[in-house]
Amino acid sequence: MTEAVVSQARRRWSDPPGGVLMWIIVGVELATFSFIFLMIASLRSDQPALFAAGQRALDPTFGLALTLVLLTSGWLVAEAVHAVRAERLRRARGFYAAGLLLGVVFVGLKLFDFWSKSGTGLSMGDDFGMAYILATGFHFVHVLVGLVMLTYVATKLGRRPYEDPETAVAGTGLFWHMCDLAWLFLFPLFFL
């Protein structure tokens, strides 16, 4: 058995894939995102006319494209994790490369989104604009951090041993899926 398979097979419930620290980080981040979602839902409920006006500045088709790009990236990263566990490193590298590429596409689309909204009147000066910019900006930062983590794991894969391969591989996948999950709430709250 290789190091990765042994590491995965001998994990106890108190040492989950990805490591306890990553689960704590993801838990804290999801709690923070939950607070943001509740604030957006409250704004949407308290100021429906303002929210409807703000939504007109957003393109639901563009939001759906962002969603499909990010979720497809998440699927590719999940496949990479499975490939690493099956000791198929070349296949895993391919999945990581494709997942990273789509992550970069998401970043590019989101930068275009921020740039294009600057001329529409959507700004920090109104509650909807502030909520949209801050919530999606907070998510954007997490996507950037996730891309750095994925790049690190993908480039090190099979070249230098990890201290704990399952934690490195599953932990970055877990963080990336947290970005997917957060976007699955942001998309309908703002775009639909």
Q: CB neighbours (10 Å) of residue 167?
A: 21
> How far lies 188's CA from each of 93, 155, 183, in Å?
32, 35, 9
Distance CA 113, CA 136 (A): 10
Give the pLDDT of residue 72: 98
Give per-residue pLDDT as tens, 13-61: 666 777 788 888 888 998 998 998 898 888 889 989 888 888 888 899 9
Domain CATH code at residue 101: 1.20.120.80
Split into its structural domains, the chain has a count of 1
- Please report whether residue 40 resides in a domain: yes
Using an 8 Å Cβ cutoff, are 154 and 100 in contact? yes
- Please report whether residue 47 resides in a domain: yes
Tell me the HSE value of 91 on the side-chain side, using a 13 A CA sphere. 11
- Please report whether residue 101 resides in a domain: yes
| Per-residue pLDDT in tens (0 to 9) along the chain, 192 residues | 344 443 445 556 666 777 788 888 888 998 998 998 898 888 889 989 888 888 888 899 999 999 999 999 999 999 999 999 899 999 999 999 999 999 999 999 999 998 887 766 666 567 888 889 889 999 999 999 999 999 999 998 888 777 777 778 888 999 999 999 999 999 998 998
Range of the domain at 33: 19-191
pTM: 0.85
Give the pLDDT of residue 184: 94
Using an 8 Å Cβ cutoff, are 8 and 17 in contact? yes
- Please report whether residue 38 resides in a domain: yes
Q: What region, left, alpha or beta, does residue 45 occupy, with left being phi > 0 and alpha being psi -120 to 50 degrees?
A: alpha
User: What tokens were used for 103?
Assistant: 């992550």
Using an 8 Å Cβ cutoff, are 182 and 33 in contact? yes
- Please report whether residue 53 resides in a domain: yes
- Please report whether residue 11 resides in a domain: no
Q: At what angle do helices 127-156 and 60-85 cross, to 10 degrees?
A: 20
Give the pLDDT of residue 119: 67
Give the pLDDT of residue 167: 79
- Please report whether residue 4 resides in a domain: no
- Please report whether residue 133 resides in a domain: yes
